[in-house]
A and B are shown apart, each in its own frame.
Chain A
């Protein structure tokens, strides 16, 4: 698909939360006034220097920002093509990019006078980040997590409990991330007065996709300054994995209007796109409406949502953020995919060559780089978002590799 000629790819969403035909506010009436309140509160906060200053202070002293931009020398040499940089989001406090967004939302919740924070989590990274911020600010924290994921991600469940959060195993539906999100929405509908719903990805009803993107855009903004310092010019390509897509939109957004930069999002192909067991909603889904927004979804012919599969619990959501759906639609971002097997190979390669154990999520982006980098010249600069570290995944990987 050839990119549409637009003056800017960075002006969305419109005032009703639409990115092209995607996005919107598809929620029950009970939640509508809350979403409008949140929109107004966020609009006020984002232009308030005091809010920005407080967030910057936390980023610097608590999260550990700016995260480094690191030249992956041995991987570059091994692949023999493009010069590869990692944006080291895995070095953030709590081990992933998730905390960037959580800090912003929790500060907003405090401004709004909300005392009870709810969140959904799949792999547990967003849950841990939310539990962390709630501990830091003395807020009550309830994390909804599919019962299946509670079993799969025990260390993160324990972490959240240590941080004082209540983890609620969700028994409804398929007992994974989408059901955790349903349950969090049910909680929010019930506890409207004191509760703030801290959504973990750039999806959900407006203003969440735009707000989460804004909070994550610090990734791309830092990258821009860092690559100018390191190379004296902007990169030629960007690569990030896509589940809901918050790490990707955070890296991409500040660069969307640079026409010479190629941008690649990498979805989880699970057992393969030609099987039902994948989580690539852009490559293998179609537009529909779920969890407050219109976006690409995995579903059957009757519009019933089907489960995504990926070895990475952070990517097996059957949808994707609406801004990515739009960027795919207009052709500004190219969406690729990597299978479980390819991600496992990349996971091992990166660990051995760079001494960095990546999370299984960015291992999908690494898998794509293994194909992209050799096709490009040595003067090509490629930035990968190393969105999380792999400590949480070592048992999953060990199981697949036969115990190592």
Chain B
């Protein structure tokens, strides 16, 4: 069976464009608004959705996504509620792939087998678990693959050619290339190096390569889309969400439309990008 992720990346490739992958944190700023945001993303132009599972100690995230997680936790978000939220989304959208992204401890405490069963039943397509490198594949990666979920791995600038095969071995769905060493929301990467890195990964795998970390604007998104199969935007989107909140960090009637408008802008950037893949770098536009 072709997964939703495979189908979506294939469809984008057929349209000669990169996929727009958007990240929001489940339950941020509150459960109801978060579900409305989730539902608004596909129409606004998101091709794939990463849904953050809040955690008190997100060691690889910058201040913006940390704060989003804390807002969600303050409103009582739990892993069970996050999984249920995907179920609600699936009632009206059977095609858009959803990946749950977060840290291992809440899953471990929920129980790996129970989590995989519930996530599949809810319509989750894949997992990104930041603190599970290939060295810990037996924990969740292998059980997830057996259960039929994609397990998406992060490759980084420190993942050298020697290590790449190990990182890619049990990866499915796509490869998430983290374009800078650092936390989410970090500095804008050097785009000339992004192409090089994407080509390096593609030499080891047939999977699509999506690039994230440091994509802040439609222009950034277009620059990445020129080289990659997918563009991931998280922090910038959460920043727009944050801007729309009132003084008590509560949602306003601007929250959903503002985020949707920003996603639409990113989608235009991604769809309008000139593809230069394979031309290793230097602006050799067709």
Q: Which residue of B lies closest to A178 (CB)?
A: B57
* CB of B172 within 8 Å of the partner chain: no
Interface-centre pick from A32, A191, A297 (highest chain B CB count, 10 A): A32
A–B Cβ pairs within 8 angstroms, 24 of them: A25-B133, A25-B135, A26-B132, A27-B59, A29-B156, A29-B167, A30-B154, A30-B158, A31-B158, A32-B158, A33-B160, A172-B63, A173-B57, A186-B59, A186-B60, A189-B60, A189-B181, A288-B105, A289-B103, A289-B105, A302-B79, A302-B109, A303-B55, A304-B73
CB pair B79 A289 closer than 8 Å: no
- B155 at interface by CB-CB < 8 Å: yes
Query: Is A16 a contact of B59 with CB atoms below 8 Å?
Result: no
Interface size class of B (residues with CB under 8 A): 35 or more
A306 to B163, CA, bound (A): 35
> In the complex, are the beta carbons of B79 and A303 less than 8 A apart?
yes
The reply to whether the CB of B131 lies closer than 8 angstroms to some CB of chain A is yes
Measured in the bound complex, the distance between the Cα atoms of B110 and A297 in whole Å is 15
Whole-angstrom CA separation of A301 from B78 in the bound complex: 9
Task: Please determine whether B158 and A190 come into contact, CB atoms closer than 8 angstroms.
Answer: no
Flag if A288 contacts B167 (CB, 8 Å): no
Q: Which residues of A contact B60 (CB under 8 A)?
A: 28, 30, 185-186, 189
- Would you call A34 an interface residue if the criterion is a C-beta within 8 Å of the partner chain's C-beta atoms? yes
A16 CA to B133 CA, complexed, in Å: 12
Tell me which residues across on chain A come within 8 A of B117, comparing CB atoms: none
Interface: B191 (CB within 8 A) = no
A292 within 8 A of B: yes
Q: In the assembled complex, which residues on chain A have CB atoms less than 8 Å from the CB atom of B103?
A: 289
C-alpha gap A76/B238 in the complex (Å) = 61
| Cβ-based interface call for A56 (8 A) | no
User: Do B167 and A299 touch (CB < 8 A)?
Assistant: no
Tell me the complex Cα distance, A55–B39, Å: 60
Interface residues of A in 280-319 (CB under 8 A from B): 286, 288-292, 297, 299, 301-306
A44 within 8 A of B: no
**A-facing residues in B115-129 (Cβ within 8 Å):** none
Residues on A with C-beta less than 8 A from B154 are 28-30
A-side interface size class: 35 or more
**Nearest CB in chain A to that of B163: its residue:** A33
Interface centre among B80, B103, B107 (most CB of A within 10 A): B103
Q: List B180-204 residues whose CB lies under 8 Å from chain A.
A: 181-183, 186
CB <8 Å contact, B135 and A289? no
Chain B residues with CB below 8 A from A32, complex form = 133-135, 158-159, 163
Residues of B with C-beta under 8 A to A306: 56
Question: Taking the complex as formed, is A182 at the interface, i.e. its CB lies under 8 A from any CB of chain B?
Answer: yes
- Picked from B78, B157, B160, the residue with its CB within 8 Å of the CB of A302 is B78
Any chain A CB within 8 A of the CB of B91?
A: no
Q: A286: nearest residue on chain B (CB-CB)? A: B109
Q: Are B59 and A28 in contact (CB under 8 A)?
A: yes
Distance of A288 Cα from B153 Cα, bound (Å): 22
Contact B59 A29 (CB under 8 A): no
Assess whether B133 is in contact with A27, with CB atoms less than 8 Å apart.
yes
Neighbouring B residues of A289 by C-beta, 8 Å: 103-105, 108, 131
